[in-house]
């Protein structure tokens, strides 16, 4: 892992995964000039999918949500480099990869300070040919084995003591080989003990119930029991 600094900015990156200039790699214009933008997705902002020399990647700028986000859309209070949003998520993804949890590999993180505040960006591996569970379940139900695989991957994450505070059906992916991926670890963290794990599962259960009405997904109580069976091992 390498760390570079210039003009009140710090970049942390993996030189094995990123062959491009780490400073330019956070600029969408750079990728557009290389004709390397392969797609985008809209959320609070635009996530750009780009083709690097080593792999396809997802480039995300951090934006605030909620009412406060309408006033200060992308600035956060600076305390130290390690706790900045992109640096913290980068480090957490490194931990998960080392623990064998299937998550996008972190490629690079950038933080730029301005007075007491900072802005942040993150570059991660793009999961190839993947669909989130909501989209997948709109097409049809999952098999028993697939539900158990979802539960087993969540258990692996929990065994690594990572508290995913926004675990929902959109943050679980299936790729073309039917492998399970977990994504979106912004504001997540390592946590001691066991008490928070049930809260993660309860949040996920509520998201399935919600998406039955909202998106018409193919999901029923028996599917949840199969997920719990996979979680229990």
- Three-state SS for 72-87 is CCCCEECCCCCCCHHH
CA distance 72 to 58: 24
Residue numbers annotated as active site: 166
pTM exceeding the 0.95 threshold for the entire prediction: no
* Residue 212, CB-side half-sphere exposure with 13 Å CA sphere: 12
User: 131-232 belongs to which CATH class?
Assistant: mainly alpha
Rounded to an integer, what distance in angstroms lies between the CA atom of residue 112 and that of residue 27?
A: 13
What stretch(es) of the chain map to CATH 1.10.510.10?
131-232
CATH class as words, domain 2-125: alpha beta
Contact in structure between 169 and 211 (CB atoms under 8 Å): yes
CA torsion sign, 212 to 206 to 60 to 180? negative
Which residue intervals of the chain bear CATH 3.30.200? Answer: 2-125
pLDDT in tens, the chain (233 residues): 999 999 999 999 999 999 999 999 999 999 999 999 999 888 667 899 999 999 999 999 999 875 544 566 899 999 999 999 999 999 999 999 999 999 999 999 999 999 999 999 999 999 999 999 999 999 999 999 999 999 999 999 999 999 999 999 999 999 999 999 999 999 999 999 999 999 999 999 999 999 999 999 999 999 999 999 999 99
Q: Is the dihedral of CA 128, 13, 76, 28 positive or negative?
A: negative
For residue 171, the number of C-alpha atoms closer than 13 Å in the C-beta half-sphere is: 20
């Amino acid at each position: 892992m390498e760390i570079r600094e210039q003009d009140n900015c710090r970049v942390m990156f993996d030189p094995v995964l990123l062959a491009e200039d780490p400073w330019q790699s956070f600029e969408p214009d750079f990728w557009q000039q290389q004709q390397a933008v392969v797609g985008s997705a809209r959320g609070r902002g635009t996530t750009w999918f780009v083709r690097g020399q080593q792999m396809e990647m997802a480039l995300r700028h951090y934006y605030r949500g909620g009412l406060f986000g309408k006033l200060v859309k992308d600035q956060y209070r600076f305390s130290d480099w390690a706790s900045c949003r992109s640096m913290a998520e980068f480090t957490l993804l490194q931990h998960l990869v080392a623990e064998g949890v299937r998550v996008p590999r972190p490629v690079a993180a950038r933080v730029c300070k301005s007075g007491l505040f900072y802005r942040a960006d993150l570059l991660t591996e793009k999961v190839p040919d993947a669909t989130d569970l909501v989209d997948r379940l709109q097409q049809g139900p999952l098999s028993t084995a697939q539900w158990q695989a979802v539960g087993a991957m969540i258990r692996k994450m929990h065994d690594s003591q990572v508290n995913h505070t926004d675990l929902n059906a959109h943050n679980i992916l299936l790729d073309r080989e039917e492998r399970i991926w977990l994504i979106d670890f912004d504001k997540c963290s390592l946590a001691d003990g066991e008490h928070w794990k049930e809260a993660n599962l309860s949040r996920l259960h509520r998201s399935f119930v919600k998406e039955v009405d909202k998106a018409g997904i193919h999901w029923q109580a028996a599917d949840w029991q199969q997920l719990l069976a996979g979680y229990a091992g």
